[in-house]
A and B are shown apart, each in its own frame.
Chain A
């Protein structure tokens, strides 16, 4: 099943699509011009609601509904575009911006108009310096064309869009941490409530959406709700840019309608092109590092929010990492949790200490092959002490890799313990070196 009429990645192969003129040639900025001149903000919100657009940042929360949480008559408001994309396996925002910046800017502008806000910030992870430049250039072009700035197209509507670069912290993708970071503080999540829609950036009502989410908006406005809903499924309408990576022949971003089976993404010659060297699939992580793992037996799971959830995982950011049988589950868990440990902000105890301890044990076990007899109950204990008790979802996510690994591949842990035990017995009591740190 191919898709000719892309929503996000449209005309991505069109040369110089990142230039304003090219983008306009394929109908770009039209939706925005029409909206600002002819449509009320409420109309746009209504369209987005009816289109059933769901947030692509991970939670899949309906965007139109989120927008309608804004308290009436409280101004100024802010729109924040979340481009802190840092979750292992996730890389579609990066590409959308680098290759088709105008679609995002148009989306931001349209959404800002819809929620009646006059200042929007695009928060980019610090590493995306080149992409930030690309975006700045595109924003400059839009200003020069009178699409941004004061009194846009003579309608009296003002809008400024600024690019703000983070400086290396995954947690700043969490919406409240992002606001803290944007306020010039360390990026640690805030207590909720109050929710951002009520009191966000600078204490003002704020909407935060993912890059891909906002990039959908121009298409919805341009082509209409019915057209949009003709893609994807009833509950997950539209398309999704799946970031496919790992041991597949053709890793990359593939925009496919929601509901496409996992198998097609991985195996279709147009997309994943099957596994490298035709090795068997061992682990599929369908939604970025925070998603519980699936295995080869889940290949028929449809890739939409409900389908993946039913399989016991989550679609999350739509990053599909496929690993073959050369990897060891404890090691994958170790690498994943090393990520979470590295990115834990330190604010709450379970995440700060739990990720650290998990990595300590997993490192010893998976990298060094030294295991203690009760490592398995210890690992279970640690993640259970974290699960549900952390301040934000980062800590909760860190539970997933180790939990999945223990659930799906307990024998690999047992094997390491057994081997270590045997070595231990062979070599006498001090086989496990006492590490003095």
Chain B
């Protein structure tokens, strides 16, 4: 039960908005991360937490494409097939993935590891073909990189399981020595394709100590959820 396991996170999230209903999306993400997908029971749970009519939350789950009301693979592979990707190798990429995984679009591989989906523009058109593995961007995925990619993803998932973390986005969590579950910091800022840079960047000077004025720590808003 989310309220028991994530009460603090839920309260923080709800506290960001003038109306608790605004917390629907974040809480659905939370439920999805914890349960792997949004079962009817999970959706009703969110409705219950926010005291909303159940249908209103089902509506939201149905409307947005990043909520999965059916079980999906550990990795959701979402390949952009929009213009311009489609003219820069997206179709070939999808074919390669289908061949490798032996599944069709919208299907999940037999081992439950991958679900393949076509999606619309992912806003990384300069790095076409692009896909998102769960919410990680993978750029310039030409068909020849498919095998390596799938291997890597598989090992990340296995790693997560070894750490005793379950559920979707498991690979984003680590178990600390104290046994708490913690978010693995990911830092993969979006880089445009690197061309030979004109001259090296100015060498960074030593950093001055940051000027701290009446500094205040913000309430931790992300705890318990990748986001």
Chains A and B are bound partners = yes
Given contact pairs A127-B135, A146-B215, enumerate 12 new A-B contacts (beta carbons under 8 Å). Answer: A88-B82, A88-B121, A91-B123, A98-B190, A143-B218, A168-B65, A169-B64, A183-B22, A184-B22, A243-B126, A245-B128, A251-B127
**Which one of A134-142, A350-358, A369-377 is at the interface?**
A134-142
Q: Are B190 and A131 in contact (CB under 8 A)?
A: yes
A395 → chain B closest CB, angstroms: 16
In the complex, which residues 183-237 of chain A have their Cβ closer than 8 Å to any Cβ of chain B? 183-187, 202
Residue A18 interfacial (CB < 8 Å) = yes
Residue B150 interfacial (CB < 8 Å) = no
CA distance in complex: A167, B132 (Å): 14
Q: Which partner residue on chain A sits nearest B211 by CB separation?
A: A145
Residues of A within 8 A of B24 (CB): 184
**Which one of A9-17, A46-54, A103-111, A295-303 is at the interface?**
A9-17
6 cross-chain CB contacts under 8 A = A87-B121, A88-B83, A186-B63, A187-B63, A245-B125, A321-B125
Residue B179 interfacial (CB < 8 Å) = no
Q: Which partner residue on chain B sits nearest A341 by CB separation?
A: B120
Q: Are B218 and A149 in contact (CB under 8 A)?
A: yes
A129 in complex: contacting residue of B22, B64, B86, B135, CB < 8 Å = B135
B126 in complex: contacting residue of A15, A251, A332, A345, CB < 8 Å = A251
- B residues in contact (CB < 8 Å) with A: 16, 18-19, 21-26, 28-29, 50, 52, 56, 59-60, 62-67, 81-84, 86-88, 120-128, 132, 135-137, 185-193, 195, 197, 201-202, 204-205, 207-208, 210-218, 221-222, 226-227
Residue A3 interfacial (CB < 8 Å) = no
In the complex, which residues 108-134 of chain A have their Cβ closer than 8 Å to any Cβ of chain B? 119, 125-134
CA distance in complex: A119, B137 (Å): 30
CA distance in complex: A251, B51 (Å): 48
**Which one of A158-166, A402-410, A413-421, A427-435 is at the interface?**
A158-166
Q: Are B125 and A133 in contact (CB under 8 A)?
A: no
B63 → chain A closest CB, angstroms: 4
Give the one of A20, A93, A146, A336 with max B CB within 10 A: A146
Chain A positions 319 through 348: 1 when the CB is less than 8 Å from some CB of chain B, otherwise 0: 101010011000010011001001101000
Contact flag A250-B207 (CB < 8 Å), given A126-B66, A245-B125, A327-B87: no
Q: Are B123 and A136 in contact (CB under 8 A)?
A: no
CA distance in complex: A285, B121 (Å): 15
Q: Are B19 and A202 in contact (CB under 8 A)?
A: yes
B121 in complex: contacting residue of A89, A128, A133, A144, CB < 8 Å = A89
Give the one of B24, B81, B135 with max A CB within 10 A: B135
B109 → chain A closest CB, angstroms: 22
Residue A246 interfacial (CB < 8 Å) = yes
B172 → chain A closest CB, angstroms: 9
Q: Are B66 and A167 in contact (CB under 8 A)?
A: yes
Contact flag A126-B210 (CB < 8 Å), given A91-B123, A184-B25, A245-B128: no
CA distance in complex: A147, B64 (Å): 34
Q: Are A251 and B83 in contact (CB under 8 A)?
A: no
CA distance in complex: A266, B87 (Å): 18
**Which one of A21-29, A65-73, A307-315, A380-388 is at the interface?**
A21-29
Q: Are A164 and B26 in contact (CB under 8 A)?
A: yes
A22 in complex: contacting residue of B121, B190, B207, B213, CB < 8 Å = B207
- A residues in contact (CB < 8 Å) with B: 13-16, 18, 20-22, 24-25, 76, 85-91, 93-95, 97-99, 119, 125-134, 136, 139-140, 143-146, 148-151, 153-154, 160, 162-170, 181-187, 202, 243-247, 250-253, 285, 289, 319, 321, 323, 326-327, 332, 335-336, 339, 342-343, 345
Contact flag A168-B66 (CB < 8 Å), given A130-B136, A136-B221, A184-B60: yes
CA distance in complex: A94, B28 (Å): 23
> Closest 6 interchain pairs by CB?
A168-B65, A129-B135, A167-B64, A98-B190, A245-B125, A184-B21
Residues of A within 8 A of B83 (CB): 88-89, 246, 285, 289, 321, 323, 332, 335-336, 339
Contact flag A339-B208 (CB < 8 Å), given A89-B83, A130-B137: no
CA distance in complex: A246, B121 (Å): 13
Residues of A within 8 A of B28 (CB): 167
Q: Which partner residue on chain B sits nearest A95 by CB separation?
A: B190
Q: Which partner residue on chain B sits nearest A149 by CB separation?
A: B216
CA distance in complex: A98, B188 (Å): 8
Q: Are B193 and A167 in contact (CB under 8 A)?
A: no
Residues of A within 8 A of B195 (CB): 250, 252
Q: Are B204 and A16 in contact (CB under 8 A)?
A: yes
CA distance in complex: A99, B194 (Å): 14
Q: Are A251 and B22 in contact (CB under 8 A)?
A: no
Q: Are B213 and A153 in contact (CB under 8 A)?
A: yes
Q: Are B59 and A88 in contact (CB under 8 A)?
A: no
Residues of A within 8 A of B212 (CB): 144-146
Residues of B within 8 A of A143 (CB): 215-218
Residues of B within 8 A of A323 (CB): 83-84, 87
Residues of B within 8 A of A335 (CB): 81-83, 86
CA distance in complex: A184, B192 (Å): 33
Q: Are B218 and A88 in contact (CB under 8 A)?
A: no
Contact flag A144-B214 (CB < 8 Å), given A88-B120, A181-B25: no
Q: Which partner residue on chain B sits nearest A90 by CB separation?
A: B123
Residues of B within 8 A of A185 (CB): 21, 56, 59-60
CA distance in complex: A127, B65 (Å): 10
B189 in complex: contacting residue of A22, A127, A130, A244, CB < 8 Å = A130
Residues of B within 8 A of A246 (CB): 83-84, 87-88, 125
Q: Are B87 and A168 in contact (CB under 8 A)?
A: no
Residues of A within 8 A of B207 (CB): 21-22, 25
Q: Are A88 and B210 in contact (CB under 8 A)?
A: no
Q: Are B201 and A14 in contact (CB under 8 A)?
A: yes
